[in-house]
Amino acid sequence: MKYTSKYLLRKKEIYQGQTDDLVIEKGNIRIWRSRMTKADGMKFNKAITIESYNGNAWIIEKEVNPYSVNEITFNEEVAEKLN
């Protein structure tokens, strides 16, 4: 499973959190787009975070700089949960 960075940066949010926008939610997987930047102390601007629910808690699977990659891919287990 993969999404383009451009798509995730432009996609309308499902939910607006304190610092991040939820852009995809499928079953036990959530993809968030940060509104924070390096000026706020983050590693990079508008990070994309993929998290999965393990039955007890939400676990961060991957955090990506959307400006350094064209596509954001998921490991097989996460991709399976998105389908």
Could you tell me the residue ranges of all domains in the chain? Answer: 2-82
In the sheet where 20-26 sits, what is the strand order? 15-16, 20-26, 29-34, 48-53, 58-64
What is the average pLDDT score of the chain? Answer: 86
- Decide if 69 contacts 63 (C-beta within 8 A): no
Q: Is the pLDDT of residue 83 over 90?
A: no
**Band of residue 27 on the pLDDT scale cut at 50, 70, 90:** confident
Question: Distance between CA atoms of 52 and 40, rounded to whole angstroms?
Answer: 25
Q: Alpha carbon of 21 to those of 48, 49, 61, 62, 76: distances in Å?
A: 10, 10, 17, 16, 24
The C-alpha atoms of residue 83 and residue 56 are separated, in whole angstroms, by 21
**What does the pLDDT look like over 34-60, one tens digit per residue?**
999 999 999 999 999 999 898 999 999
